Amino acid sequence: MKSDVGPKIAIYPTPVYLVATYDREGKANVMTVGWGGVCNSNPPCVCISVRPATHTYHALMERKAFTLNLATEKFAKEAAYCGRVSGRNVDKFKEVGFTAIKSEVVDAPYIQELPVNLECKIIQIHEIGSHTQFIAQIMNVKIDDDLLNKDKPIIELLKPIVYGIGNDFNYYRIGENISID
């Protein structure tokens, strides 16, 4: 038997990303985003959805660029903090000990400490309702050398985290390979 629960977000889990931008004054800011992912392969594109009330939203609209930095187990506490506090009032880079590095290809910083950084240029903006979706072309990817050329898959070395939505707003580890033949 199944129960109808009405229209709800029922995609489990969602990736945890740290979106880094520069605001109007050129200050680096970072925001945790759970609504996002791959949306095209050629050209390679990602999308994120952000509420217009956020400091990041205004930076995205002005700069038309961001970096998508993959959150890992090692930085789960920092990711949680960056999702709860506004960059209007706090320098989140300073508070969590992240280093903002200016991208050479887009008008946004990337987070030095996180092992995978996607440098993205916004190509489409869609007002949806509570959130605005930003579709961005990946212009470059930076990845820590110790994740490359290993015997293990990158996902096992990276240890990304995911967000449990619905009735469970917590972060989780990704499980083991199930090796489907």
For 45-68, the pLDDT digits (tens) are 999 999 999 999 999 999 999 999
Q: Distance between CA atoms of 24 and 57, rounded to whole angstroms?
A: 11
Q: How many domains does the chain have?
A: 1
CA–CA dist 112, 67 (Å, integer): 11
- Work out the number of other CB atoms within 10 angstroms of the CB of residue 37: 13
Domain ranges, residue 87: 14-173
Q: What is the pLDDT of residue 180?
A: 78
Cis peptide before 13 (omega within 30 of 0): yes
Start-to-end C-alpha separation, the chain: 31
Instruction: Kindly indicate the confidence band of residue 6, based on its pLDDT and cuts at 50, 70 and 90.
Output: confident
- At 168 the pLDDT is 66
CA distance 47 to 120: 10
- Provide the CATH number for the domain around residue 44: 2.30.110.10
Query: CA–CA separation, 124 vs 106, rounded Å?
Result: 16
User: 64 in a domain, yes or no?
Assistant: yes
- β-strand partners of 29: 21
Confidence of residue 167 (pLDDT cuts 50, 70, 90): low
Q: Does residue 3 fall inside a structural domain?
A: no
Tokens of 175: 């499980």
Please give the residue that has the higher pLDDT: either 17 or 168.
17
CA dihedral 87, 111, 139, 130 (to 10 degrees): -30
Does residue 48 contact residue 96 with C-beta atoms inside 8 Å? no
